[in-house]
Structure 1
Amino acid sequence: MKILIVSEDKPFLKHAGSIFAGTGHDVTTTPGTAADLRTLVKSLGPDLLLLDGRDDVMLDLAGIERTTLQCPGVAILLLTTMRTPAFLIDAMRAGVREVLPSLHPGELLAAVERAAAKLTASWTASHGKVHAFVGTSGGSGTTFLATNFGYQLAQTHKVLLVDLNLQFGDALSFLQDAKATTTIADLARDINRLDAPLLQASAIKVTPTYSILAAPEEPGQATDITPEHIDAILRLAVTQYDFVLLDMPRIVDAMMMTALDQASTIFLVLQASVPHLRNADRLLSVFRSLDYANDKIELLLNRYDKRDDITIDRIRRTLGAHQIHMIANGWRQVSTAINQGVPLVQVERKHGVIRSLSELGDTMVPVLDPHVGLFDRLFRRA
């Protein structure tokens, strides 16, 4: 395990480092305080951090909290003489794994082993895939495709959809006619307690295997959510779900980039029209500036009709070498499903849109029998 020890006391650094001699851990010691943690953690990438906090005046729990929010995978041990119940609670809320009263070798090594056991358990946990859906224009059908695709994946996998249209998101309404009792804003307010049970309790269960982390009910609550919150939520979500789907806004900001950085695939949703092509081209330019590889971005051509004026060849010439998935045109049935607040499959079981989304799912999920796709596995009759 990679261990970083931070202190302003050079003799302390030397003594602390010697305790780990012969343990097999990769130990780095460096001068610094809690204010330096974010920079040190990002540059050195430790699994565990031991911070010397014996100087109560200099001890900065806010600096520790900023570090744990941005780097939730790092376990922090804090050495301090402060032992009041109020301080211990504040330290826990800041993300400290354990508070040690002294540099006793036995106690320190035991704490490290406890932290290592928890880290190993999280490393061996299942690691799901993140797929982001980004529309090129209003009305492109992004939320409908993301929510219904998630519903189909959830027939055979555990799925979480995160509604990142933070001001006017309505993904939940595409699947059920009810308001969210908790939203991503509530989770952000409790981010210091973020763990698997809290994440699952904050998401709304549509089915036993499909949950939605809803957008805030009030647009003003979006300002309480930061990119660090999103980063921490997604890093935890992939350890709890097979697939994490992101319903994204068409806004290029720090929030969007934080989410897209974690995505395995970005599905750019467009229709066969000049405005959609123009906006898609602009978004692709942004993605290139962020150094996203071409194979990370795939196109979802919604409401596809081979008689459209804008042909597949023209789309390829305009947007380049990206995989294109065609989604059938089913405006009437899709509108009925949206108006009723139910998945499309409950309106028409074997609609062409369902088959298109199932074929998309087959590109992500290994198929044991190449002759039997997701659509057939889900909807074949007994």
Structure 2
Amino acid sequence: MRITVAANDEKQLAELARQLRERSSADDISMLPASLERLLTMAEPGAIDVLVLAQDTLDADDTERLERLGNGLPNTALILVSSQQTPEFLLQAMRAGVREVVASPSSPTTLYPALRRIADKRESRANAGGKVLAFVSCKGGSGATFLATNLGYALASMENKKVCLLDLNLQFGDATLFVSEHKPVATLADVCKQIHRIDPSFLAGSMVSVTPNFSVLAAPEDPSHSEDVKPEHIDTLLKLARRHYDFVLLDIGRTLDAVSVRALDQADMIYPILQTTLPYIRDGKRLLGVFNSLDYSHDKIALIVNRHHKSGQIRLTDLEGAYGTRIHHTMPNHYEAAAASVNQGVPILKLDPASPLSKALADMARELAGPSETETRPGWLSKLFRA
């Protein structure tokens, strides 16, 4: 990788460069004795794979400079070396486009794993297998968990895809209850505590099996166990899941922290779920603003309007005008069927296949899965005319 180290302190700059050169002789290491402000005039798009920046504090001006630097280097991963490690600082850095924060003074035990995660992420993008789809609630009660779990069932049962869902709502996740009556044998926290054991069999055995090709990994039972789930665990889980599942669905919840942001980074598509009421619309706009600050492309965000009424006071065109983007999917309001599905723990497509909500989910699954092999295989008549 092409790695540039930037720091105002020459001693710190030399030490960082030394650690990086000792890590791998294959990396191209360069040094810049420069401040963040000066970097804005020096950085060349496409010339750097990783920028390691030593910066102890981030005020409003620094955050704005980091965002501008990230926009100017869209293909560069930014590692920030800082003595500040508070959750507020880490979230502020991530919103400014930083992908890894390493404690200062740096050491190989902290710097090398950050670089390895970035290298793994670059490799997984180049050799991506299954698609990772993240569902995020714009506001509590939006129906994100219902849509994620039932879409997973639709992809597995109707499109014959191998699907898993990871419940990343670490405080109060209950995705398994939406599609199964079985009690989880293990949770995400249990898996992360034994991450050294992770392999396809261990992961599959830890999940609730809804159908032979759809499984759910439950959120921690106790909210305090959410601390057992680390951002690097998400990297490991998603790397494995991509290789063994056609679709990996993520139920993110509403909390944006280091774990959820790491998951969103890896997602191929992010589906913010909202409803056509002003509180949802306001919170949806805030959420899109956060995604913009995280430098997620517009192509990665696909808005879903749940419980949609065609005759509602707020029209889809009003939403699209407010957000400056189109609504990708609408899910009709069929409260009775949805409530029965949740109360019984039975997917709505199985409980009420004639429901308009079931049909909308089936349509979305069909669109995601793409044409089947038989649909894309040329017929005998087309072969005859090509001959």
If the TM-score is normalised by the length of the shorter chain, which range does it land in? 0.5 to 0.7
1:288 aligns with 2:292: yes
User: The residue matched to 1:334 in structure 2 has which SS?
Assistant: helix
Q: Return the offset for 1:128.
A: 0.3
TM-score where L is the length of structure 2: 0.66
1:229 to 219, 230, 233: 233
1:70 to 117, 123, 136: 117
- Equivalent position of 1:299 in the other structure: 303
- Equivalent position of 1:132 in the other structure: 134
Alignment of 1:152-301 (within 5 A): 152-155=154-157, 156-301=160-305
Q: Return the offset for 1:194.
A: 2.1
Aligned residue pair count:
288
Whole-Å Cα distance in 2 between the matches of residues 28 and 68 of structure 1? 11
Paired residue type of 2:306: N
Q: Structure 1, residues 62-120: CA drift from partner, whole Å, max 9, x if none?
A: 6699469836849xxxxxxxxxxxxxxxxxxxxxxxxxxxxxxxxxxxxxxxxxxxx9x
TM-score where L is the length of structure 1: 0.67
User: The residue matched to 1:138 in structure 2 has which SS?
Assistant: coil
Indicate if the aligned counterparts of 2:187 and 2:220 stay in contact, CA closer than 8 A: yes
- Equivalent position of 2:148 in the other structure: 146
Whole-Å Cα distance in 2 between the matches of residues 293 and 68 of structure 1? 23
Moved more, 218-227 or 319-328: 319-328
Structure 1 residues 186 and 65, CA, compared in 2 at 3 Å: closer, same or farther?
A: farther
Structure 1 residues 274 and 67, CA, compared in 2 at 3 Å: closer, same or farther?
A: closer
Q: Structure 1, residues 144-197: CA drift from partner, whole Å, max 9, x if none?
A: 010000001012100010000011100000011222111110111011222222
- Equivalent position of 1:328 in the other structure: 332
- Equivalent position of 1:38 in the other structure: none
Whole-Å Cα distance in 2 between the matches of residues 190 and 334 of structure 1? 36
Larger Rg: 1
2:313 to 303, 309, 313: 309
Paired residue type of 2:155: L
> How much identity, in percent, do the aligned residues show?
39
Indicate if the aligned counterparts of 1:295 and 1:322 stay in contact, CA closer than 8 A: no
Whole-Å Cα distance in 1 between the matches of residues 126 and 200 of structure 2? 15
Q: Return the offset for 1:222.
A: 0.3
Whole-Å Cα distance in 1 between the matches of residues 366 and 231 of structure 2? 32
Q: Return the offset for 1:282.
A: 0.4
Q: Return the offset for 1:203.
A: 1.9
Whole-Å Cα distance in 1 between the matches of residues 291 and 28 of structure 2? 38
Structure 1 residues 144 and 199, CA, compared in 2 at 3 Å: closer, same or farther?
A: same
Whole-Å Cα distance in 1 between the matches of residues 198 and 115 of structure 2? 11
Whole-Å Cα distance in 2 between the matches of residues 67 and 293 of structure 1? 23
Whole-Å Cα distance in 1 between the matches of residues 119 and 192 of structure 2? 14
Moved more, 228-237 or 148-157: 228-237
> Runs of 5+ in structure 2 lacking a partner?
3-17, 30-48, 53-106, 377-387
Q: Return the offset for 1:202.
A: 1.8
Q: Return the offset for 1:43.
A: 6.7
Indicate if the aligned counterparts of 1:125 and 1:239 stay in contact, CA closer than 8 A: no
Whole-Å Cα distance in 2 between the matches of residues 240 and 72 of structure 1? 20
User: The residue matched to 1:238 in structure 2 has which SS?
Assistant: helix
Q: Return the offset for 1:324.
A: 2.6
Moved more, 193-202 or 239-248: 193-202
Whole-Å Cα distance in 2 between the matches of residues 364 and 328 of structure 1? 19
